[in-house]
Amino acid sequence: MRTATDRASTVTVAAIQGSVPRLGLDFNAQRKAVLDNHVARTLVLAEDVTAGRAPAPDVVIWPENASDIDPLRNADAARDISAASAAIDAPILVGAVLVNDDRTTTNSVIVWDAQTGPGERHDKKIIQPFGEYLPWRSFFRLFSEYADRAGHFVPGDGDGMVTAGGIDIGVATCYEVAFDRAFRDSIDAGAQLLAVPTNNATFGDTEMTYQQLAMSRVRAVEHGRAVIVAATSGVSAIVDPAGRVQQSTPLFVPDALVAQVPVRADVTLASRLGVAPELVLCAAAVAAAGFVLVRGRREKAGAAARTSTGAAGAPAGGRFDKEDL
């Protein structure tokens, strides 16, 4: 387990919402425009910090898919991200799509510092079928051309924690937050703060955005950590450890949130127990169902035996002669 860095009890974080040129599955058709939007909104925040209109953040969080141009392979993308980090004078957690040597991809969050470049990263571990990858692609291609629109993402590994600006941050990308295990490893590793970078442009104007935010609020309470939600098109939010939304953005507009949030090293009972209560409840449910089933069978067997005994003791036709007494 990595030891959490000794810091003050609060840090200042920023969540950038650059927005996208279009919604739906074609949100990334203009990948450079999406990256430019997030760079531009970060530069606006840097101007506000310089002018004293906003506090200087210790770390900045960009959404999932903020750079679908692989910044480890594309010098222009790397230069733009470094310029944004230099302007805001803080490391940025950059949501990026990275291309592997075998042409598969990873949905990654990279710690990017203007001075040192790319550092630690979280590769999304819980990838979504029929979206980020398609099982039996050749089979489904027989029925729909949409089969080839699914991604070729592969899952990552690791504990889901990255360190940026001396802050240990647990990362769950997009709907990883729906899974109990997503933050558990990072909390065990010492995460002091939680981040949910997400691309909600694919959800359009639906309730899925708000559903995901509700999940982030649950995770805040479960682990006793502040949660920073950074979304491409909204809703971005600052959630306190009690699950309350302290700040949020509207949908489909560029925006930025800056807030002072607590960093914690203590572990809640829910984090400590992990999956144990679920296993106990499942075992209890199975045991209860088994008990009811066995008891029901015994009662049926007893009733059948009593019926058989009563029938054997009665004379044919149900008449009693003197000899029967």
Examine the pLDDT at 321 and tell me if it is beyond 60. Answer: no
Mean pLDDT, rounded, for 195-203: 92
In a domain, 121, yes or no: yes
For residues 198 and 139, membership in a common domain is answered with yes
For residues 100 and 215, membership in a common domain is answered with yes
Grade residue 276 by pLDDT with cuts at 50, 70 and 90: confident
For residues 188 and 304, membership in a common domain is answered with no
d(CA 113, CA 296): 66
Examine the pLDDT at 38 and tell me if it is beyond 80. Answer: yes
The angle that helices 181-189 and 208-223 make with each other, rounded to 10 degrees, is 40
Domain of 38 in residue numbering reads as 10-267
Grade residue 49 by pLDDT with cuts at 50, 70 and 90: very high
For residues 148 and 167, membership in a common domain is answered with yes
- Active-site positions read 64, 124, 174
Paired with 10 in beta bridges are: 262
User: Residue 121: how many CB atoms within 10 A of its CB?
Assistant: 20
Mean pLDDT, rounded, for 243-254: 96
Instruction: Round the average pLDDT of the chain to a whole number and report it.
Output: 90
In a domain, 322, yes or no: no
d(CA 202, CA 251): 13
Selected residue with higher pLDDT from 303 and 285: 285
Indicate the number of domains in the chain: 2
Looking up residue 98, the CATH number of its domain turns out to be 3.60.110.10
Residue ending a domain, choose from 214, 246, 267: 267
In a domain, 240, yes or no: yes
Grade residue 297 by pLDDT with cuts at 50, 70 and 90: confident
In a domain, 272, yes or no: no
Q: How deeply is 1 buried, as exposed, middle or buried, from its count of CB atoms within 10 A (0-12, 13-18, 19+)?
A: exposed
- How many Å from the N-terminal Cα to the C-terminal Cα in the chain? 85
From the list 204, 207, 214, the residue with the least C-alpha distance to 245 is 214
Q: What is the pTM of this model?
A: 0.85
In a domain, 162, yes or no: yes
Examine the pLDDT at 197 and tell me if it is beyond 70. Answer: yes
